[in-house]
Amino acid sequence: MKVDESQRVKQRDNRELTPPYARYLVHLIRPFPDFDPFFIKPLRQKAVQMLQLKPGDRVLDAGCGPGGSFPYLADAVGPSGEVVGVEISPETAINARRRIEKNGWRNVRMIVADARAVKLEGNFDGLLTFAAADIYASPQALNNLFPYLKSDARVVAFGAKLSQRRSGKAFNLLFRLLWKLSFPSTPALSHKPWVPLESRVDGLKVEEYFFGCMFLAWGSIKRE
pLDDT at residue 15 tops 60: no
User: What is the fold, at CATH topology level, of the domain defined by 5-221?
Assistant: Rossmann fold (3.40.50)
Q: How much is the pLDDT for 23?
A: 74
User: Looking at beta carbons, which pairs linking 118-124 to residues 24 or more positions away fall under 8 Å?
Assistant: 118/86, 118/144, 118/145, 120/60, 120/84, 120/86, 120/145, 120/148, 122/58, 122/148, 123/58, 123/148, 123/149, 123/150, 123/153, 124/58, 124/59, 124/60, 124/84, 124/148, 124/149, 124/150, 124/153
Q: Mind listing the pLDDT tens digit for each residue in 138-153?
A: 999 999 999 999 999 9
Average the pLDDT over each of 4-18, 45-59, 85-99, 110-124 and give the range with the smallest value: 4-18
Does 56 score more than 90 pLDDT? yes
- pLDDT single digits (tens) 63-115: 999 999 999 999 999 999 999 999 999 999 999 999 999 999 999 999 999 99
Query: What is the pLDDT confidence band of residue 6, given thresholds at 50, 70 and 90?
Result: very low
pTM for this one?
Answer: 0.85
Q: Tell me, what's the pLDDT at 2?
A: 41
Average pLDDT for residues 42-67, to the nearest whole number? 97
Share of the chain above pLDDT 70, in %: 82
With residues binned 3-state (H G I as helix, E B as strand, rest as coil), the percentages for the chain, rounded to 5, are 40, 25, 40
Taking the domains of the chain in order of start, what are their residue ranges?
5-221
CA–CA gap between residue 183 and residue 214 (Å, rounded)? 19
| pLDDT at res. 11 | 39
160-196 per-position pLDDT tens digit? 888 887 766 667 666 666 666 566 667 777 789 999 9
Q: Left if phi > 0, otherwise alpha if psi is -120 to 50, otherwise beta: which for 22?
A: alpha
Instruction: Between 198 and 170, name the one with better pLDDT.
Output: 198
Q: Residue 135's pLDDT is what?
A: 94
The whole-number pLDDT of residue 186 equals 72
Helix (H, G, I), strand (E, B) or coil at 48: helix
CB 214 within 8 A of CB 160: yes
User: What average pLDDT does the segment 195-223 reach?
Assistant: 90
The per-residue pLDDT for 4 is 43
